[in-house]
């Protein structure tokens, strides 16, 4: 996996970070972390985790990092790290549909 395709949303209050991989629940992950970091604003904006769209995410890229080492130091030794992985074939089909068919079809 190319490192520039990875980013790390964090929730410092919970010492939590996720290795977010494109097309593997990445929008849900970023919405969840947005909610964890800004619950009141997220709800006041009438947002729902399940309804977020990547291009119009409520928190944008706030609390996103691309340097894993920096995130490790920021969150400390008691951090919780996780990643969501997906079946490669279903990931390919989903990505192909999203990037090739969805945007090319009228």
pLDDT greater than 50 at residue 1:
no
Whole-number pLDDT of residue 90: 87
Q: 26: domain range?
A: 3-104
75: its two tokens? 């969150």
Residue 92: per-residue pLDDT: 84
Closest CA to 63 of 46, 86, 78, 41: 41
* pLDDT band per the 50, 70, 90 thresholds, residue 106: low
Distance CA 93, CA 89 (A): 6
Any residues with CB less than 8 A from the CB of 40 and at least 6 apart, and which?
none
Identify whether the C-beta of residue 63 lies closer than 8 Å to the C-beta of residue 69. Answer: no
Cα–Cα distance between 53 and 91 in angstroms, integer? 18
Of the candidates 73, 77, 41, the residue with the CA atom closest to the CA atom of residue 59: 41
Instruction: For residue 2, name the pLDDT band (cuts at 50, 70, 90).
Output: very low
What does the pLDDT read at residue 93? 87
Residue 105 scores a pLDDT above 60: no
Query: Per the structure, how many domains does the chain have?
Result: 1
Other beta carbons within 10 angstroms of residue 72's beta carbon come to 15
pLDDT at 104: 60
Distance CA 82, CA 39 (A): 21
pLDDT tens sequence across 40-95: 999 999 999 999 998 899 999 888 899 999 999 999 999 999 998 888 898 888 87
């Amino acid at each position: 996996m190319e490192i520039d395709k990875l980013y790390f949303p964090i929730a410092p209050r919970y010492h939590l970070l996720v290795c977010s991989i494109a097309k593997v629940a990445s929008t849900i992950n970023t919405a969840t972390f947005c909610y964890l970091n800004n619950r009141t604003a997220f709800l006041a904006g009438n947002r729902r985790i399940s309804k977020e769209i990547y291009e119009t995410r409520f928190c944008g890229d706030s609390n996103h990092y691309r340097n894993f080492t920096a995130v490790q130091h920021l969150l400390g030794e008691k951090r919780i790290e996780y990643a969501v992985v997906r079946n490669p074939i279903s990931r390919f089909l989903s990505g192909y549909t999203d990037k090739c068919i969805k945007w090319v079809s009228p």
